[in-house]
Amino acid sequence: MKLKCLYASSNDCSDAFYISGVRVPDPYFSLILGRHKVAILNQLEYSRVKKESKYTKVYEFEALKAEVINQYNLSKDHFSLKYFVKYFFDLYKANTILIPKYFPSFLLLELQQLGLPIELVKDSFFPEREQKSNEEIKSIKLGNQASAYGLSIAQSALKASKVKKGILFLDGAVLSSGRLRSMIEQSLFGRGAIAGSTIVAGGVQASDPHQVGFGPLKANELIIVDIFPQIKRSGYHGDMTRTFLKGQANDAQKNLVHAVKEAQKRAIAKIKANIRADTIHAEVTSYFDQKGYITKRQTDGDAFIGYIHSTGHGIGLDIHELPRVSTTKNKLKANHVITIEPGLYYPNIGSCRIEDVFAVTKDGSEKLSKFNYQWQLP
């Protein structure tokens, strides 16, 4: 009988939010064993969490503290948080306490002082999070609707922009990465989604995949726009990327974009339950190899070039979750939700990434992100 122990804020810890369904700003205990899911909250949060959460029982901190002090014959001065864990360890007749890798070190040391058997869970603390319920899939689809709306804002702004001496202007002012990012994020906030660190990176900047972008956007350069908002109500994310170009693309840029689009198409065709993730990743690298693009570790100065990241990742309450779609040999399962996002990165040509989200099904996948777009804008 293993007792799972969390001490975290559900505002900051997705595991805590997953089991509770409510937001609590300060760290608190969640303890899980079988059908028992209990929480210990202060009086400020107690009533709300008791009414709104998914816990089977909620304890008020001071009342439970008094009971624990009495049970273990403690003085008030000798009480510490570790005794709450011991209380439920004894109550449920557990033989091991499971803690996640982000468990607070001060509390771990306290539990060790009591001699309680502790086991660190190095992988996912709730592996069931990998396979989404129908309700979770709906929430992720809403997240991608928000992403698509943000991409429509980006496309409209880039299309309406004017070119002056190679720089993009919108309504008489320079259209910078920061300005376009603000337009996207403000529009999503009004639709119930929070988008932070949205990527709007053009030219050489885009060859660094997680560079958010800065400075004026330029004509005839590939511009990566990657939007990964979180829906405020549900906590679930969307994640979509498109690559645009305002002006005239050269042949190298056209070939690059075509290759990424085709690689994504081939990867999507491979998705189904029980396929190994590395098979999907290999489909992408094999195609890029055929087209003469670099897929092995190689640099141009300080920049890594070619195909330099995995093909995808899980998504849910966290933007990056298991499973990974890379060289890992794990098998996909029905109701895994994953991104497919091949990309190519060359400072001297430009960079392109295209990303969509899919729910894995028995025989294929369901696309959860939709945004038909024109990548080259006159």
> How many domains does the structure of the chain reveal?
2
The answer to whether residues 112 and 184 belong to one domain is no
> For residue 121, is pLDDT > 80?
yes
The answer to whether residues 194 and 235 belong to one domain is yes
Question: How does the average pLDDT of the chain come out, rounded?
Answer: 95
The answer to whether residues 120 and 139 belong to one domain is no
The answer to whether residues 97 and 239 belong to one domain is no
> For residue 299, is pLDDT > 70?
no
The answer to whether residues 144 and 86 belong to one domain is no
Report the pLDDT averaged over residues 50-78.
94
HEC secondary structure over the chain = CEEEEEEECCCCCHHHHHHHCCCCCCCEEEEEECCEEEEEECHHHHHHHHHHCCCCEEEEHHHHHHHHHHHCCCCHHHCCCHHHHHHHHHHCCCCEEEEECCCCHHHHHHHHHCCCCEEEECCCCCHHHHECCHHHHHHHHHHHHHHHHHHHHHHHHHHHCEEECCEEEECCEECEHHHHHHHHHHHHHCCCEECCCCEEEEHHHHHCCCCCCCCECECCCEEEEEECCEECCCCCECCEEEEEEECCCCHHHHHHHHHHHHHHHHHHHHCCCCCEHHHHHHHHHHHHHHCCCCCCCCEECCEECECCCCCEEECCCCCCEEEEECCCCCECCCCEEEEECCEEEECCCEEEECEEEEEECCCCEEECCCCCCCCEEC
CATH of the domain at 51: 3.40.350.10
What is the per-residue pLDDT for 300? Answer: 65
The answer to whether residues 116 and 154 belong to one domain is no
What is the per-residue pLDDT for 223? Answer: 98
Closest CA to 244 of 258, 224, 263, 264: 224
Q: Partners of 306 in the beta sheet?
A: 345
The answer to whether residues 176 and 325 belong to one domain is yes
Provide the pLDDT confidence category of residue 298 given band limits of 50, 70 and 90.
confident
What is the per-residue pLDDT for 213? Answer: 95
Last residue in a domain, options 85, 100, 125: 125
Report the pLDDT averaged over residues 135-147.
97
The answer to whether residues 258 and 341 belong to one domain is yes
What is the per-residue pLDDT for 67? Answer: 95
The answer to whether residues 162 and 210 belong to one domain is yes
> For residue 63, is pLDDT > 70?
yes
Report the pLDDT averaged over residues 241-260.
98
What is the per-residue pLDDT for 152? Answer: 97
Over pLDDT 90: what percentage of the chain?
A: 94
Report the pLDDT averaged over residues 88-96.
95
What is the per-residue pLDDT for 196? Answer: 87
The answer to whether residues 56 and 196 belong to one domain is no
Provide the pLDDT confidence category of residue 9 given band limits of 50, 70 and 90.
very high
> For residue 303, is pLDDT > 80?
no
**Cβ pair 327, 278 in contact under 8 A:** yes
pLDDT tens track for 146-185? 999 999 999 999 999 999 999 999 999 999 999 999 999 9
What is the per-residue pLDDT for 76? Answer: 81
> For residue 133, is pLDDT > 70?
yes
CATH of the domain at 294: 3.90.230.10
Provide the pLDDT confidence category of residue 296 given band limits of 50, 70 and 90.
confident
Provide the pLDDT confidence category of residue 301 given band limits of 50, 70 and 90.
low
The answer to whether residues 199 and 341 belong to one domain is yes
How many residues does the structure list for the chain? 378
> For residue 33, is pLDDT > 70?
yes
> For residue 269, is pLDDT > 70?
yes
Structural domain boundaries, residue 38: 2-125
Last residue in a domain, options 125, 156, 175: 125
**Cβ pair 46, 58 in contact under 8 A:** yes
The answer to whether residues 253 and 372 belong to one domain is yes
pLDDT tens track for 192-204? 999 989 999 999 9
Last residue in a domain, options 100, 125, 150: 125
